[in-house]
Structure 1
Amino acid sequence: MSKQIRIAVLSLMMIALAGPVLSQAGDPVVPSNPSGYLLLDKGLQYRITKAINSMYNFDFATAERDFTVIMYQYPDHPLPDFLMALGYWWRIEVDVTNTRYDNIFIQYLDRANEKAERIFDEDPKNKEAAFFLAAGYGFQGRLYSERKSWTKAAWAGKNALKYMELSRGEEEFNPELLLGDALFNYFSVWIPENYPLLKPVMALFPKGNKALGLQQLETVASNAFYTRVEAQYFLFRLYASEEKRPYDALRISEYLHGKFPNNPYFHRSYARHLYAVGQWTESVEQSFQILDRIEKGQFGYESNSGRYAAFYIAEYYYRVGDRAMAKQYYLKTVAYGEESESQESGYYLHSLIQLGKIETAAKNKAQARKYFDRVKKYAKRKHPAHKEARDFIKKNKL
């Protein structure tokens, strides 16, 4: 089994085991609270919704003030620490290569887990404590898999799955727990389909159902109280890549950007899905907004988002025949790619190829060759960009 395949599997399994997470509540009917669990307290649900809306909109100061009040009121409950951790997760999500928030994220999760474990030790039937432990260990697994800390990731994922099973049986939690089931059902089938060598490994896990997993995600995205936005996040990613449903991906990303207009991840995803369905003018409009926010230093808007936005603008100008403007924004894409250390990304490599073609057309063969050589430097030999660069050099005698 190659290292790349092992990484893909562990990453996906940690995502699949992420279990329940808190997110923007939307408009579902508030359930009753016969169990006395804090998560099902009606008044607190509305307060959490307001704070989490602020968090998803990258207004972390407002969100954390509300989270701190909850922490003061419920010092022994895992909810406030988990909410704090969730805010740092979204800071990480914008650019997962940035490790500056890792320690504080893990610290808040550890505190939430410790509080949940104390509750669970006193009452092993407490579904709410198990709910938080599944979520806490699941998020730890997601981060550790991103950091290629495979032993820690596997340990966290195993704990997440254990507590997800233990948290079942409380009817009010079912929509929230369904997210973990949905992701597991989908990816436990997707992995062996895409990596046949892993079929023996996946045989150790329960049998999944990809169609059911997608259906469950759609149910959570429409009906859950706490996990709604997280389900929508996974849905638009699957619609765009695996399910080949770009217009459904666009529909969800448009909603999320409209609901949380200052969230850079949702913003660039909206621009990307507009680009994918050929709505070029709209994609360019959103991309210019992204670049403007980067220039103004708006929090969360950084080089990774800039790489996306500059590329869509460059592609638009290239297609309409404005080579000068295309060159300008391909160069921006390359610059942002280097700043974010994304030299192996498709946008970075394609931009170099386009710059090489532009310079070839302008009779600047020496400069063109430099661009193609950089493609060969950063792209693996089997990568389509590497082959295109080799073929172009040979054909044009660069």
Structure 2
Amino acid sequence: MFILTRIFPALLGLFLPLLAPAQVMNDPASQKLVLTILDNIYNLEFSEADGLIKQLQVRYPHHPVGPVLRATQIELQHIPLSDNKAASAQFAQAVDQGMQLARRMLDKNEKDPEAVFFMLTCHSYLASLYNNQGESLKAVGESKKAYDFIRDGFKLVDKNSDFYFTTGLYNYYVERYPIEHPIVKPIMFFFADGNMAKGLQQMDVAAQRGLFMRTVANYYLAHIQLKYESNPAKAVAYSNYLIDKFPANPLFTMIYAEALLLSGRYSEARPYVQRLKQMPGKLVPLAVSTFSGLLAEMADKKDKEAAEFYEAALRLPVNVTYTKEYQAFAYAGLARIASRARDRKKADMYYKKVLAIAQYKSLIREARAY
């Protein structure tokens, strides 16, 4: 089932003032505050974000913006969230609070674009949480609820360019997901048809022109270009925006370094691999070991050193959502090294492991071609 994962808030500047019935569609002060909070969150400046979120909730106690931003902060502060029960509970509580407040807005106006997006965000957040916790039935349930609000968003792209992201994401994945998971094809007739090329174009609009969705649109497009489109050069372009604006974010550093490595731009990638070594987080060590292996193998032509890095990577814990593909990279690297050593049996063994876990089209093609 199609799951929207890690969708960050869009339309966060469209606030509902406490003493006025009309929405403030262009409130520069409010927009600036929310953008500052998001910038703090993306750059892991959590103490700064925390204080500003409290200010926002005092100003707008009946609006979902505060709780949804709080949920966003909790998720990024405790990546991978599914590994932390206490943080997961706090996240779910914040999402539930945001959902209740958004539902009250819909009760007043069922076409409120702001409320539509917050409901979409909340259901998507819960779908992601349940999916990462292995609770697939709950994840599917939340995804179905999110779908209704995604459809409402189709009609709102002309009102705000940030809706191009959710619409484009749907158009791409509703076609891509059944290709990768044929088992779901019988139930896909419940969903409106998509268009992958159009979806990429729409997400690109959000990446270039979106106000609140620009960051997440660039991240998703970089990921899609690496995983499905096998176009690391485009991934470099999208992730370059992320690394320039949020240098302290390890996720953004990881995807930028990966895109450079897969583009063959090894000298440019090396300093970012070095930067990763100084960054915190459970996800970082596996990325560092894998990327170091790629540099040793591809740039330095030192197979023995590369093999040591790849083997070290395979001894590290894997997170299915964020780092499992790096494990596939390590197996592929060991397969190439074995092949160069004319050990076909070992190369076959490693490539079989690649095929068992890889999702990147480029890795799958490499393994099948051997």
TM-score, normalised relative to structure 2: 0.80
Give percent identity, aligned residues only: 21
Residues 74-110 of structure 1: CA deviation (Å, up to 9, x unaligned): 1111111111111123345x54653443221111100
- Look up the match of 1:318: 297
Is residue 21 from structure 1 mapped to residue 6 from structure 2 by the alignment? no
Deviation at 1:119, TM superposition (A): 2.7
Tell me how far apart the structure 2 counterparts of residues 47 and 104 of structure 1 sit (CA, whole Å).
23
Deviation at 1:125, TM superposition (A): 4.3
SS of corresponding position for 1:206: coil
Q: Is the 8 A contact 1:39 1:128 kept in 2?
A: no
Q: Which amino acid aligns with 2:244?
A: G
Tell me how far apart the structure 1 counterparts of residues 254 and 152 of structure 2 sit (CA, whole Å).
38
From 326, 333, 341, the equivalent of 2:313 is 333
Larger RCO (CA within 8 A; separation ≥ 6) = 1
1:335-350 alignment, distance < 5 Å: 335=315, 337-338=316-317, 345-350=327-332
Tell me how far apart the structure 2 counterparts of residues 114 and 15 of structure 1 sit (CA, whole Å).
20
- Look up the match of 1:103: 89
- Look up the match of 1:3: none
SS of corresponding position for 1:225: coil
Tell me how far apart the structure 2 counterparts of residues 61 and 132 of structure 1 sit (CA, whole Å).
24
Is residue 140 from structure 1 mapped to residue 126 from structure 2 by the alignment? yes
- More moved, 253-262 vs 235-244: 235-244
Deviation at 1:181, TM superposition (A): 1.3
Deviation at 1:20, TM superposition (A): 7.1
Tell me how far apart the structure 2 counterparts of residues 268 and 107 of structure 1 sit (CA, whole Å).
30
Is residue 200 from structure 1 mapped to residue 186 from structure 2 by the alignment? yes
Deviation at 1:198, TM superposition (A): 3.5
TM-score, normalised relative to structure 1: 0.75
Deviation at 1:50, TM superposition (A): 1.3
SS of corresponding position for 1:109: helix
Tell me how far apart the structure 1 counterparts of residues 21 and 81 of structure 2 sit (CA, whole Å).
38
Q: Is the 8 A contact 2:12 2:65 kept in 1?
A: no
- Look up the match of 1:186: 172
Q: Using a 3 Å threshold, how does the CA distance of structure 1 residues 255 and 277 change in structure 2: closer, same or farther?
A: same
Q: Is the 8 A contact 1:168 1:177 kept in 2?
A: yes
Q: Aligned pair count?
A: 353
Q: Which amino acid aligns with 1:330?
A: Y
Tell me how far apart the structure 2 counterparts of residues 189 and 346 of structure 1 sit (CA, whole Å).
25
- Look up the match of 2:113: 127
Is residue 305 from structure 1 mapped to residue 290 from structure 2 by the alignment? no
Deviation at 1:174, TM superposition (A): 3.1
Tell me how far apart the structure 2 counterparts of residues 333 and 318 of structure 1 sit (CA, whole Å).
14
Residues 168-219 of structure 1: CA deviation (Å, up to 9, x unaligned): 7667753222222111111111133344454332122111111111111111
Q: Using a 3 Å threshold, how does the CA distance of structure 1 residues 223 and 47 change in structure 2: closer, same or farther?
A: same
Tell me how far apart the structure 2 counterparts of residues 178 and 95 of structure 1 sit (CA, whole Å).
27
Tell me how far apart the structure 1 counterparts of residues 277 and 7 of structure 2 sit (CA, whole Å).
35
From 64, 74, 79, the equivalent of 2:50 is 64
- Look up the match of 1:154: 140
SS of corresponding position for 2:160: helix
Q: Is the 8 A contact 1:24 1:52 kept in 2?
A: no
Q: Which amino acid aligns with 2:47?
A: A
SS of corresponding position for 1:55: helix
SS of corresponding position for 1:124: coil
- Look up the match of 1:396: none
- Look up the match of 1:395: none
SS of corresponding position for 2:62: coil
- More moved, 277-286 vs 64-73: 277-286
Q: Which amino acid aligns with 2:328?
A: G
Q: Is the 8 A contact 1:164 1:177 kept in 2?
A: no
Structure 2: any 5+ residue segments left out of the alignment?
Answer: none
From 254, 267, 273, the equivalent of 1:268 is 254
SS of corresponding position for 1:199: helix
SS of corresponding position for 2:100: helix
Deviation at 1:379, TM superposition (A): 3.7
Tell me how far apart the structure 1 counterparts of residues 167 and 158 of structure 2 sit (CA, whole Å).
16
Tell me how far apart the structure 1 counterparts of residues 221 and 201 of structure 2 sit (CA, whole Å).
10
Q: Using a 3 Å threshold, how does the CA distance of structure 1 residues 333 and 99 change in structure 2: closer, same or farther?
A: same
Q: Using a 3 Å threshold, how does the CA distance of structure 1 residues 258 and 171 change in structure 2: closer, same or farther?
A: closer
Structure 1: any 5+ residue segments left out of the alignment?
Answer: 1-9, 389-398
Deviation at 1:70, TM superposition (A): 0.3
Deviation at 1:154, TM superposition (A): 2.1
Tell me how far apart the structure 1 counterparts of residues 257 and 89 of structure 2 sit (CA, whole Å).
31
Q: Using a 3 Å threshold, how does the CA distance of structure 1 residues 23 and 284 change in structure 2: closer, same or farther?
A: farther
Q: Is the 8 A contact 1:239 1:246 kept in 2?
A: yes
